[in-house]
Structure 1
Amino acid sequence: MAPEDERHRFLFHIHGDAGVGKTFLLAELEHIGREQGALTARVDESVNSVPEALGAFSAQFGVQDHRFRELNRLLAVWRERQHEAASAGLDDLPDSSAPEPSPGSLAAARASLIGLGLVPGAGALAGAVDPTEVARGADRLRGALGARLRSQEDVQLVMSPELVLTPVFLQELTQAAASVPWIVLFFDAYERTALVLDRWLRDVMTTTRYGALTSRVIVVTAGQYALDAARWGEFTDVITDWPLRNFTEAETRGLLWNKGVVSEPVVREVLRLSDGLPVLVSTLAAGRPTEPGRVNDPSATAVEGFLKWEQDPVRRAAALAGALPRHLDVDIFRTAVGCSDAEGAALFPWLRGLPFVAEHGIGARYHDVVRAQMLRLQRRRSLRDWNERHTALAELFRQWRIQAEDHLTPGSFWKDSRWHELRLAQSYHLLCTGSRRAREAVLLEVASACTAGEPVARRWVQVFRDAGRDTDSEELSGWGFSLQAALTEGTAQALHLLLDQAGFGTEGQAEALVACGGLRRLEGDVRHALADYHRAVALSPRMEPAYAGRALVYAELGEYSAAIEDLNRADALLPNTVQTLRRRGDYYRITGRPQESMRDLQRAVELFPLDPLVWASRGQRTSVSGTLRRPSPISTMPCS
């Protein structure tokens, strides 16, 4: 019906328990929409910010011959500027003795810093710091970004990307709507994505904050819970609430009859095993069984029901092992199963055709309900086999992560999404082994993730919750919930929880203190930041990041000689890193030591000719003392 019709609805929200068929229904609706000529796109829990969601929408629209060129251009600029800003925000904040923030800064600070969590440590400012301190931090960061980036437009793009990107997205949606009957945006796994998208989606649909949304757009969300009444309650006249529930016995029997499953003993077995959950009914009916098997065996489980009509023992074992990873491609599948390349190539297409395995990107994923039961069955059958397979999977992701690091600088690991995914997968499988050493190592990774921003930290906390659920470990689940609660008060609070309760060894405590010092420095609390770094150095005198971090604090305090001494120590422990050479060159310049400055900056340019910050520092040095020589072609070529 037309948008003007009072019966028209702009938002449909599907909700119900896991396994009730939300994702399946979403896929069917998208298929129907495309058949009717609609332009469609879908996102799920793999997106962790508004820019990521807009990028996913744009990519899918492009496949349908609707290219959002201006949005794509701005997204590319955003990714580049975000990378530059991360260095500026963490490494080169100006003097902390900033004036009192303006009233405008006070009003905008919380939104600009916390908005999408793009600024490392911003979560610590949410409700835990006086608003004046929040605004002062925003002013300091804005000043640092302004010094590094090309324009104020770039600064806004980094600090509030949704304010820049969303209006362009809405304009291009309006242009696309001129050539299609409808545009449908699908949001799956909304119980997770709502954390970062719900407020933005509500503003897009019900306000003109970002501009006007064309009336040709329909939004479909799907999650386990109803929409937040406080946020959406006043708009019920344009929303259709679509609850899904388990099948009744009559509905289950009807589906089985349509599948050709009519034997009453078999029907009773399916009813018992599925409890009316649609995904289980569909899976159990897929093999069109004619015999109930051990129908009266009380030890029969849903998992056995999924597979008991598959007679090939190799396939049965492969289907079980394939449930171990959270996501699958053929290489991950081979490792999980422990089979050859040829066997994996033959089995993986069969696995992808199973009714409880869904397409996910370029790979596949088990339905959560089915996977949970398969994991439980394997863990109970053989804990040794369980541990060996998870260890093999952790090693596979470790090798892939190391290969990814070959193309990254050490300081950019936390800024690379591919590295994140590999490290998260490795950590998940290590936690599933139940090793206490693995648990401590992953808790340390959470500490490092806190320095990369609250959205990143949330993903690492989710690994504990996932591993705790999949291993029935109260300890891992407890860490997940405790860290999640701490993060609501900010990343600094999560770090304090780790320091107080994780039981880290000496090196672990030092690493966590370095992370805490970095967050406190960013928030302007240089006195406590310095104390954290002092404690870290005392615990671990050979920890290079502790000296490098303390040097930044000394520089903010104007104690450049002490900063240079710490950078000398850092360079001795880890020679020729770009940050150490660049910063020490800058501090030598500031303290009137031009020859030492020239030496470090020239060395940095020769070793890292593609680093823009190195060239910027050298440019400052050049403006003071004349032109430095360019590195010769030979000096920048790799050794043979």
Structure 2
Amino acid sequence: MARGRVSLQERVRRRTRAGLVARSAERELFRRNFGTSPDDERHRFLFHVHGTAGVGKTRLVKEFEHLAREQGALTAYVDETSGSVPEVLEAVCRQFALQGHRLKDLERTLATHRERRHEAETAALAALDPAPDGAPSAGGMALARAGLAGLGLVPGVAPFTAVLDPEQLAHGADRLRTVLAARFRSHEDVRLVLDPASVLTPVLADELDAVASDVPWLVLLLDTYERTGPFLDAWLHDLLTTDRYGVLPDTVVVVTAGQHPADPARWGTFADFMTSLPLQPFTEAEARGLLAERGVTAEPVVAEALRLTGGLPVLLSTIAGTRPGGPEYISDPSATAVERFLKWEQDSGHRAAALAGALPRLLDVDVLAVAADCDAQRADELYSWVATLPFVDRLGGRIRYHDIVRAPMLRLQRGRSPRAWTDGHTRLAQAFRRWREETESGRDTATLWLDETWCELRLGELYHRLCADDPAAVSDSLWGLVEACDQGEALAARWIRVLEDAGRDVFMPEVSTWGDRLSTALASGGTQAVLDTLLEWAGGAHSSEPWQRGADRASRPRRRASSPRRRRASADTVSVRDAAADPSPSQAARHVTPVTATIPPPLLARIHRDRALAHAARHDRMAAVAELGRALALTPDDPRTLGLRGEFLRAVGLLTEAAADLERATALDPADAYAWASLGATRLALRHPEGARTALDRALALKPDYGWALVRRARVARELGDPEGRLSALDRAVAADPGSAWAHCERGDALHAADRDQEALDAYDRALALDPGYASAYASRGVAHHRLGHLDQALADLDRALELNPSYAWARERRDAVVRDLDG
């Protein structure tokens, strides 16, 4: 054949690629779009494929990618394995590079983003309050998690665990930004941590514009959009419809595919530039075409296949793959499609491997070796075969069974041998735990949340424990969910999905409903709504009775005993099925979902504590005090909660109550530097400077570089008439925390009090460089200028202080003095 010619056979292969003998209208519409100029009104920049599971969305999207590449397009395919905008952009970079086009600037910026996130985490850990063994305390860990989640700028994150002073709280997120600004080299680095999409996306736009001169089209395909849309949809809308991130070349085409139609509230105005492609099950003609392409043409067999599959492509492919000899060999695929497929597989090892491979949500060689209970060499052979099955989707180097086929396969195993089911999931849970512990070896716990591998292993372990009916699995999953909420919405969504998946796969409707409601809460109100929902289900913020009722029921005989583990359930948690079977009248009256009996008091207390920190972040300290009171009703001897409540009571001026909490906290945990420091500040406010000095000295003995305690120690020295001790403490404070505008301002005040006004000006300048909105620093610098005779500078500084805080009485008095001197 002449060079460049395409054979007839190749044309046929292309048209029937991946069994896509149907969807001809959708494929032709997409292909024709490349023949339409972007300035033609018929050209579309966005295609949204949507339809139920099993209808063939992923295969059509993959076909779109092939069609685009045939037109010379540079393509990138992204699914739910990318959990954030930076991860999506990393996937784009990898795939473009494989096609010969490096996005070097974007790759460098992504590398910087990863480095800056690590530095932010390091900065958070450096500010932690260490326990006696050197490990971060519970409050410090929460601060580190907040650092990983954008330092509290993700909705629902509780970032202010270690913030003690009301002046610090007043600065809120701005204070955290200034700390980062002092640490990082540029404002751009700060934004890379706090708002990575705003920095990375303009680089993407510039890169795409440069690449557009080398290729005719750029195609981005976003699959499983029902899972990625919650964090991608707003970003994608801004990218395509606004100039927020710069401009894109008009040769960009985007494909999204998910179970739901596009949000009309967001995409309604873009309707003239996009095409919605709702997928329905195959028509009879399309279904017959698929079966015929696979060699199934006998009319009785075809008729039975059409009747049983309802035209769903994945089920049609499964039946066609068995090459049934007659209709009697076809059973309802919604119940036993895989069993029928395995019946025609003569190799018993293959049949067992296919069944075992359904137990995990994702499969690779290592996981299959555990699921099939075989050695590595055999697992490699079996994996190669399993990967060829028609209901398997490839995800990078791993595979996943289609849900419509996996579900009946799981039902088959669970019903045929409950003991084998439990043993298989237990074996997998133990393997995931072993791999997770290997990942954790020698690493700080707070850093693990950045590690995608660790998160995936922990989720896998929890999923298989839930499926094995491990009696502590639900409570452990909820602990993980609350911790994931500290990381932001993306990780919280993954933890919730474990509950949804396990509830569905093990047929635990209560757990599945729980997962659905938590998912709805996350979508509507972020992670704070998730915590609120957990508390609502636990009987509201004022009662822990559901837990007690559940604990009482835990000792009763089980109603079901499908596995020994059910009979061994401990009294520390409660089977969700038992709770659902025996709701009390008070539960029904409050509409409390019975599964909340699995929430133990320490976890409820932790949720109240996180809510308290969220209230503090919004400067509502009385609400924070109330939440901490509810936490203490559940865990009355928790020193960390007592310390937090004592600090918030101090901040709102309830000093006697604060001192009582803090003295009890230090008695329970004498190594808590946080509580000792807050107790010192409280005693100082109560005008007991000697007692304050004792408490602050204890805090500094535990943590010598405790910047906040050092500033408070300086204030005690001032009250005791010790100017040298005051300056010494403040010198140590700015050395320990050079990014603290507050410490520099306090040091300026001490220098001013020592008649060292020129040095005081330097300290105030440093404070204002760190925090340009610091009214107190402007006022103090104005007073120093006044004493040095710099009247114009003094007036400008005091005017700025009053502009920032019009009710600042001391600054107004100082300004009046300056005006009198100017008039005189």
Normalising by the smaller structure, the TM-score range is: 0.7 to 0.9
Give the direction of change, closer, same or farther, for the CA distance of 1:150–1:556 in structure 2 (3 Å limit). farther
Going from structure 1 to structure 2, the CA distance change for 1:136 and 1:266 (only over 3 Å counts) comes to: farther
Q: Distance in 2 between matches of 1:355 and 1:119?
A: 45
1:483-511 alpha-carbon deviations (Å, 9 max, x no partner): 22333234334224334513433433344
Q: CA 1:299/1:49 → structure 2, altered by over 3 Å: closer, same or farther?
A: closer
Paired letter, 2:604: Q
2:671 matched to which residue of 1? 569
Task: Name the stretch that deviates more: 242-251 or 550-559.
Answer: 550-559
Cα deviation 1:277-331 (Å, max 9, x = unaligned): 1111112212433344545899973222332321222211211111111111101
How much does 1:188 deviate? 0.2
Are the aligned partners of 1:582 and 1:617 in contact in 2 as well (CA < 8 Å)?
no
Shift of 1:444: 1.7
The range that moved more, 211-220 or 255-264, is 255-264
Matched, 1:124 2:178: no
Separation in 1, partners of 2:253, 2:331: 49
Does residue 228 (structure 1) correspond to residue 263 (structure 2)? The answer is yes
The alignment partner of 1:180 has SS state of coil
Question: Equivalent residue for 1:617?
Answer: 736
Q: Per the alignment, do residues 580 and 156 of structure 1 end up closer, same or farther by CA in structure 2, a change over 3 Å counting? A: farther
Match of 2:166 in 1: none
2:570 matches 1:512: no
State the distance in 1 between where 2:75 and 2:702 align.
Answer: 50
Q: Which residue in 2 is equivalent to 1:70?
A: 105
Code of the residue aligned with 1:617 in structure 2: it is A
Residue 198 of structure 1 pairs with residue 229 of structure 2: no
- Equivalent positions of 1:158-177 (< 5 A) are 158-177=193-212
Per-residue CA deviation, residues 326-357 of structure 1 (Å, 9 max, x unaligned), is 11110111111222223212111000011111
Q: Does residue 360 of structure 1 match 2:395?
A: yes
Q: Which AA in structure 2 matches 1:402?
A: E
Residue aligning to 1:589: 710
1:298, 1:210 → 2: CA distance?
48
Structure 2: distance between partners of 1:410 and 1:516:
22
Is 1:210 matched with 2:305?
Answer: no
> What amino acid sits opposite 1:159 in the alignment?
L
Instruction: State the match for 2:477 in structure 1.
Output: 442
TM-score by length of 1: 0.79
Say if 2:358 and 2:409, in contact at 8 Å, map to a contact too: yes
For residues 283 and 383 of structure 2, what CA distance do their matches in structure 1 show? Answer: 34
Within-5 A mapping of 1:114-153: 118-120=150-152, 122-124=154-156, 137-153=172-188
Does the CA-based 8 Å contact 1:401-1:423 persist in structure 2?
Answer: yes
Code of the residue aligned with 1:123 in structure 2: it is P
Q: Would you say the 8 A contact 2:216–2:251 is kept in 1?
A: yes
1:40 aligns with 2:75: yes
1:338 equivalent to 2:373? Answer yes
Deviations 1:428-478 (A, max 9, x none): 112222344211121121122222222221221121112122222111112
State how far apart, in whole Å, the 2-side matches of 1:44 and 1:580 are. Answer: 52
Pick 1 or 2: higher relative contact order, CA cutoff 8 A, min separation 6. Answer: 1
Aligned residue number for residue 461 of structure 2? 426
1:395 deviation in Å? 1.3
Deviation per residue, 1:16-74 (Å, 9 max, x gap)? 21111111111122123224321110111122222221121112112222111221222
Pick which of 171-180 and 27-36 moved more: 27-36
Alpha carbons of structure 1 residues 527 and 353: separation in structure 2 relative to 1, 3 Å: same
For the structure 1 residues 567 and 84, does the alpha-carbon distance in structure 2 shift closer, same or farther, using more than 3 Å as the test?
A: farther
Seen in structure 2, the aligned counterparts of structure 1 residues 290 and 141 have a Cα distance that, compared at 3 Å, is same
Give the 3 Å change call, closer, same or farther, for CA 394–270 of structure 1 in structure 2: same
Is the CA contact 1:182–1:218 (under 8 Å) kept in the aligned structure 2? yes
Aligned to 1:105: none
Match of 2:300 in 1: 265
SS at match of 1:122: coil
Corresponding letter in the other structure for 1:512: I
- CA distance in 2 between counterparts of 1:81 and 1:615 reads 23
Q: 1:19 to 1:118 in 2, by over 3 A?
A: farther
Give the whole-Å Cα distance in 2 for the aligned partners of 1:519 and 1:402.
Answer: 31
More displaced 10-residue stretch of structure 1: 285-294 or 548-557: 548-557
> What SS is found at the alignment partner of 1:123?
coil
Q: CA deviation at 1:84?
A: 3.6
> Equivalent residue for 2:221?
186
**Quick one: distance in 1 between partners of 2:477 and 2:345?**
38
Q: Distance in 2 between matches of 1:619 and 1:531?
A: 34
1:477 is the counterpart of 2:596:
no
Residue 525 of structure 2: aligned partner = 489
Shift in alpha-carbon separation, 1:549–1:169, aligned structure 2, 3 A: farther
Alignment partner, residue 608 of structure 1: none
CA distance in 2, matches of 1:71, 1:544: 47
Q: Find the aligned partners of 2:512 and 2:171 in 1 and give their Cα distance.
A: 37
2:384 alignment partner, one of 319, 334, 349: 349
Shift of 1:213: 0.8
2:84 is matched with: 49
Q: Distance in 2 between matches of 1:482 and 1:90?
A: 34
Per the alignment, do residues 121 and 620 of structure 1 end up closer, same or farther by CA in structure 2, a change over 3 Å counting? closer
Alpha-carbon distance in structure 1 between the residues aligned to 2:122 and 2:619: 17
- Residue 67 of structure 1 aligns to a residue whose secondary structure is coil
Sort the Cα spacing of 1:376 and 1:532 in 2 relative to 1 into closer, same or farther, 3 A.
same
Distance 1:522 1:413, change over 3 A: farther
* 1:120–1:519 Cα contact (<8 Å) kept: no
Counterpart CA distance in 2 for 1:551 and 1:65 is 60
Query: For 1:400 and 1:554, how far apart are their aligned partners in 2?
Result: 44
Structure-2 change in CA distance of 1:242 and 1:136 (3 Å) = farther
Task: Compare 239-248 and 182-191 and name the one that shifted more.
Answer: 239-248
Alpha-carbon RMSD across the aligned residues, in angstroms, is 3.9
Q: Deviation per CA, 1:347-388: give whole Å up to 9, x if none.
A: 110000111112112111111211122122222222222222
Q: 1:580 to 1:43 in 2, by over 3 A?
A: farther
Q: How many residues align?
A: 572
Contact 1:333 1:344 in 2 (8 A): yes
- Of stretches 545-554 and 154-163 in structure 1, the one that deviates more from structure 2 is 545-554
The 1:211/1:551 distance shift into structure 2, 3 A limit, reads: farther
Cα distance in 2, alignment partners of residues 23 and 302 from structure 1: 20
| Partner Cα separation in structure 1 for residue 331 and residue 225 of structure 2 | 39
- Are 1:322 and 2:337 matched, yes or no? no
CA contact (8 A) 1:431 1:439 kept: yes
Asked whether the equivalents of residues 513 and 535 of structure 1 are also in contact (C-alpha less than 8 Å), the reply is: yes
DSSP 3-state at the match of 2:155: helix
Cα 1:544–1:68 shift into 2, 3 Å: farther
By how many angstroms is 1:258 displaced? Answer: 2.1
SS of the aligned residue for 1:286 comes to helix
The offset of 1:399, in angstroms, is: 1.2
SS for the counterpart of 2:525 is: coil
In 1, the alpha carbon distance for the partners of 2:601 and 2:273 equals: 58
CA distance in 1, matches of 2:334, 2:201: 54
Q: Judging changes above 3 Å, is the alpha-carbon distance between structure 1 residues 166 and 385 closer, same or farther for their aligned structure 2 residues? A: same
Letter in 2 for 1:569: A
Residues 451, 518 of structure 1: 8 Å contact kept: no
Asked whether the 8 Å contact 2:338–2:409 carries over to 1, the reply is yes
Partner letter of residue 433 of structure 2? R
Question: What's the counterpart of residue 454 of structure 1?
Answer: 489
**Structure 1 residue 265, shift from structure 2 partner:** 3.4
TM-superposed deviation, 1:480: 1.0
Q: Structure 2 vs 1, CA of residues 581 and 330 (structure 1 numbering), >3 Å: closer, same or farther?
A: farther
Percent identity of paired positions between Structure 1 and Structure 2: 47
In 1, the alpha carbon distance for the partners of 2:701 and 2:609 equals: 16
Give CA deviations for 1:577-607 in whole Å, capped at 9, x if unaligned: xx997686334533449xxxxxxxxxxxxxx
